[in-house]
Chains A and B, each alone.
Chain A
Amino acid sequence: MNGFEFEFAGKQLVALGSGALWWPDWRLLCVSDLHLGKSERIARRGAPALPPYETRDTLNRLADDLDQTGARIVICLGDSFDDLDAARALGEGDRQWIASLQAGRDWTWIEGNHDPGPVEIGGQHRHELRIDTVTFRHIAAAGAVGEISGHFHPKARIRTRGRSITRAAFLVDRDRLLLPAYGTYTGGLHCDDPVLCDLMRPDALAILTGSPPRAVPMPRDS
């Protein structure tokens, strides 16, 4: 599999090149910040109508990862929908597709700041979830240990001898793991941003997405 294996909170995890996290022991796939329905929300607010294909594209990639891994448990780590109205406005086709992805799987939607309530789509809705010694929540909590979260859409810039390369990235230290945004219409926050520098320990790693994913010490330029 196209992934980077690492140890976190005593567990063997795999950062997939797509930005999803794979936990083989539990056959668990975790993705964060799908932002489904983003183009609908943008149009609703009076901004130009962006190509309405991001939900389809995000689900396409998720379906691939589910297929490849044969995941049994799925955790969507918050901001799965761009807002609750966007979740309600999802087309029938997209709903059925999500239902078919959920079939035979234990599926949890963690609440995010964009989707802070239950949606009328199958699966459990949780504020946070604990599995084994690991806690899954949307936004990293102060002083947490063994925590997997999303929210910040971290990305990292690496200066190589040829050019500087920017990719969405996992950030990991001994206490926390931050997932990159998985949704098609998402940007990112550079990991040299003070918020992320303060959150992560000095010896944190950044795992850049791509095939294959690559790890570097988390860049902190400024």
Chain B
Amino acid sequence: MAQIPPAILNWFAAKGWSIHPHQQDMFDRAQNPATLLIAPTGGGKTMAGFLPTLAELANGDHDGLHTLYVSPLKALAADIKRNLRTPVDEIGLPIRIEDRTGDTSATRKKRQRADPPHILLTTPESLALLTSYEDAPRMFAGLQRVVVDEIHALAESKRGDQLMLALAHLQVLCPGLRRVGLSATVEDPDAIARLLARHPDPCDILLADPGPDPDIAMLQTEEMPPWSGGGAAYAIPAVLEQIRQHKTTLIFHNTRAQAEIFFHNLWLANEEGLPIGIHHGSLDRQQRERVEAAMVRGDLRAIVCTGSLDLGIDWGDVDLVIQIGAPKNVKRLVQRIGRANHRYNAPSKALLVPANRFEVVECVAALEAVKAHDLDGDPRGRGPRDVLCQHILIAAAAGPFEADALYIQMTSAGPFTDLTRVEFDDCLDFCATGGYALHAYDRWQRLLQRPDGHWQLRDPRAAARIRMNIGTIQDTDTLKVRLKRSRGGKPLGEIEEGFAASLTPGDTFLIGGQIVRYEGLREMTVEVTRRADKKPKIATFMGTKFATSTQLSARILDMFAQESWPQLPRHTADWLSLQRDVSQLPQRGRLLVESFPHDGREHVCVYGFAGRNAMQTLGLLLTKRMEEVGLHPLGFVSTDYATLIWGLDALTDAAPLFRIEALRDGLDSWLAGNAVMKRTFRASATIAGLIERNMGGQRKSGRQATFSSDILYDTLLKYDPDHVLMQITRDEAMRGLVDFGRIEEMIARVGDRIDLVRLGRITPLAAPLLLEVGKVPVKGSAEERLLAEESERLLSKAGLTS
């Protein structure tokens, strides 16, 4: 077995460090085809991943690329480069380390392809792009190892599926390629191992000492949290006090909007001017980099942030993590807490700050779950075929390919091992011809089969278009925000196009901690001016939606069954008592349905506590019934515990909504026509390459020429309902839904134990639901009625009558 070179051992010794057992274990397995390490942050995980690389490169006789490091975040790649540079320089190893992300300059990228470094740090998207070039075999020649960092985060999304397809491609170019995965604690390490390894290679799983249990508590505040609301403004003084007492505090939020509002309020109260920064994915890159640099220097006492700082970045001396709002699932909470106190074997310190009283209940349940080491999460299921389509196009961009060989290559990727040949051929046909039942474009098909059987692009120029559309991240379209100046002012960040469309000149909103006034849209840039207002008029742009976990909601339901709540703060116990007085608390074996007017509309709240997917499905079914019985539903939103539906008319009898027969009638066409399907179609069609995200600068030019993806969906539904993209859409939508059969069972179980409570106003328990993101509009007769009303009102106001 190879030994760690003395130069490296001496460096460890000089630092007064010893090699951790899991670092040695990883080194001993360096020749294995795949190894997964599960270790807490701060446990020397990065060094464990790179030690074999440093050892193999120590004698300086390797030419070209040796190790590829892939992480979910650009910032992480930059950070690892810094952290790796130090030992490499101090030991004096002849190793070139470079990163390559969307932020790397074009000249540098070009040079990297001609003359690759020994270690290249990159992201799944940049790697997929690299594999799409004709010269990929030359660039990757000699590649020995790939290190996938934070693989648990990649495993949750299509980015992981994309990465594994790219690795399958690399494995063909470099048959000896060895894979290493680095992961935080997860509930199912085997699933991650299966994702990582080339099928059917074995994959050892190493578990490092998880370290002591984290020290987590709820933040004690003088003020009471409100009934609903997500800002946690009440906790500002207590949070400031904690910042004062610690070196560096990370303050996590579940959404960007919440982070912005909290940061704004924190500054208003920050009388002594403590250095506090904000960091999230919507901010301009330069602004993010400034905050990152200040953090590395230790200049900041606190950073208000969201998911963009969520992963294992070793920055500064973070000694406290504050989580604002309920940590929607326990796993995420534990991983976040990993941020604090990165010294191995010191317990991490974290404080939870519920934003409202329902979240107090969730936080208490989450604390119990952490103590019980009760991690949760859902299995990912089969690899999505939209990503497969994208990779068929990527393969074509790289050069002619053989279908048989590509099928074998792709089924060696963990998520796609059970892909059938028929499914693969359907995807290939889609990429080549569009895959329509009506053959209309034989002359213009995208891929052609040559006489020798290989597939290639009909028009080689298509490769550039394919490359421009690589990626699986479905950020809604965003627009840049700039200060209005004569020659283009300072960029502040980005907002969702939908949010921008809702603004009228004069509206104020928060971005980067400042209040700005919307002035107008200029060439797809949102122009704003600074305002000194105290309160923004509008403060919601989307962040990431997190689902609470099913286990967490079961714990909450148990808590509701108690007579009294000694484990809850007094105000929250009083709030639950009030809910019991004015309505009821949801109970196991019964179904509570509340009906009340609020804000000019009627609302129905159904407390199913069945998990978000089931509640989302129930929302679709109940709105179908409400449409049928003439209640004019307008939309709904679902969480793990409840579905809130709003519409024009009041629900006074719940029984007809839950009649199984009636639910089933016409279900298919209702499900096919709903907004969830259309949203899913848009995402899958974009990934699969039917809709182009980027057209090389000509996006949205000539606005009446572009039409909505909903039209494509409706057209396929009408004329080609079994098209492969419709199959993919149904599969992908079902990831966020459950089978109708499970809802049937649930309704059958409840039977007539449905309690409808009609109230004059919103209840304590329903109020927090108003803030949930992920609202699903229902397009039915309500729209016609609203339009009729508004038309009449506007015409008579203008002195016209119709």
Contact = CB atoms under 8 A, between A and B. Distances in A.
A111 interface: no
A210 B692 contact: no
B491 interface: no
B784 interface: yes
B711 A43 contact: no
A103 interface: no
Contact count band on B: 35 or more
B465 A215 contact: no
Nearest to A185: B707
A162 B788 contact: no
Contacts of A217: 794-795, 798, 800
A80 to B, nearest CB: 16
* A44, A187, A211: most-surrounded residue (chain B CB, <10 A): A187
A54 B784 CA distance: 26
A79 to B, nearest CB: 10
Interface in A27-45: 39-40, 43-44
Contact count band on A: 35 or more
Contacts of B723: 51
Interface string A41-57: 00110111111111011
Contacts of A152: 704
B505 A216 contact: no
B114 interface: no
Nearest to B635: A163
B507 to A, nearest CB: 11
Given A43-B444, A46-B459, A46-B462, A221 B504 contact: yes
Contact of A165 (B444, B601, B707, B786): B786
Contacts, number: 135
Interface in B714-771: 715-716, 718-720, 723
A53 B718 contact: yes
A52 B789 CA distance: 38
Contacts of A49: 433-434, 436, 440-441, 444-446
Given A47-B692, A53-B719, A165-B783, A91 B440 contact: yes
Interface string A200-222: 00010100101100111100011
B799 to A, nearest CB: 10
Nearest to A54: B715
Given A163-B786, A214-B791, A216-B791, A187 B601 contact: no
Interface in B402-461: 433-434, 436, 438, 440-441, 443-446, 459, 461
Interface stretch (A66-74, A118-126, A128-136, A153-161): A153-161
A147 to B, nearest CB: 19
Contacts of A91: 440
A146 interface: no
B707 A161 contact: no
A184 interface: yes
Given A210-B787, A221-B504, A53 B601 contact: no
B520 interface: yes
B9 interface: no
A189 interface: yes
Contacts of B783: 162-163, 165
Contacts of A51: 434, 436, 712, 715-716, 719-720, 723
* B502, B719, B789: most-surrounded residue (chain A CB, <10 A): B719
A187 B701 CA distance: 12
Interface string B774-794: 000100001110111111001
B446 to A, nearest CB: 7
* A47, A49, A51, A53: most-surrounded residue (chain B CB, <10 A): A51
A200 to B, nearest CB: 14
A186 interface: yes
Contacts of A221: 504
Nearest to A221: B504
Given A53-B720, A163-B635, A165-B783, A46 B692 contact: no
B708 interface: yes
A55 to B, nearest CB: 9
A61 to B, nearest CB: 11
A159 B504 CA distance: 12
B436 A52 contact: yes
A116 interface: no
A189 B719 CA distance: 27
A14 to B, nearest CB: 14
B634 interface: yes
B689 interface: yes
A69 B703 CA distance: 32
Contacts of B789: 160-161
A187 B719 contact: no
A43 B691 CA distance: 12
A47 B712 CA distance: 15
Given A48-B446, A51-B715, A153-B704, A215 B791 contact: yes
A177 interface: no
A189 B706 CA distance: 10
B372 interface: no
B720 to A, nearest CB: 6
B692 A48 contact: yes
* A49, A159, A186, A222: most-surrounded residue (chain B CB, <10 A): A49
Given A49-B446, A184-B715, A222-B505, A162 B441 contact: no
Contacts of B224: none
* B634, B715, B716: most-surrounded residue (chain A CB, <10 A): B715
A181 interface: yes
A215 B802 contact: yes
A8 to B, nearest CB: 15
Contacts of B219: none
B790 A163 contact: no
A165 B704 contact: no
Given A162-B634, A210-B784, A221-B504, A52 B438 contact: yes
Contacts of A184: 711, 715
Contacts of B787: 158, 160, 165, 208, 210, 214
A222 B704 contact: no
B786 A187 contact: no
Contacts of B782: 162
Contacts of B443: 44
Contacts of B97: none
A212 B794 CA distance: 17
B707 A40 contact: no
B658 to A, nearest CB: 25
Nearest to A155: B704
Given A46-B459, A46-B461, A189-B704, A53 B715 contact: yes
B465 A39 contact: no
A40 B442 CA distance: 10
A57 B802 contact: no
Nearest to B435: A49
A44 B707 CA distance: 18
Nearest to B723: A51
A210 B181 CA distance: 55
Nearest to B444: A43
Nearest to B430: A49
* B433, B690, B790: most-surrounded residue (chain A CB, <10 A): B790
Contacts of B465: 46-47
B47 interface: no
Contacts of A46: 444, 459, 461-462, 465
11 contacts: A46-B444, A49-B436, A49-B440, A51-B715, A53-B715, A53-B716, A91-B440, A158-B791, A163-B634, A188-B704, A208-B791
Given A49-B434, A160-B786, A186-B704, 17 more contacts: A43-B444, A51-B719, A52-B440, A57-B715, A158-B787, A160-B790, A161-B786, A161-B789, A163-B777, A163-B783, A165-B786, A185-B715, A208-B791, A211-B784, A215-B791, A217-B800, A222-B520
Interface of A: 39-40, 43-44, 46-54, 56-57, 91, 152-153, 158-165, 181, 184-189, 203, 205, 208, 210-211, 214-217, 221-222
Q: Considering the complex of A and B, which 7 residue pairs feature the smallest CB-CB distances, nearest first? A: A49-B434, A52-B440, A187-B707, A160-B786, A153-B704, A53-B719, A43-B444
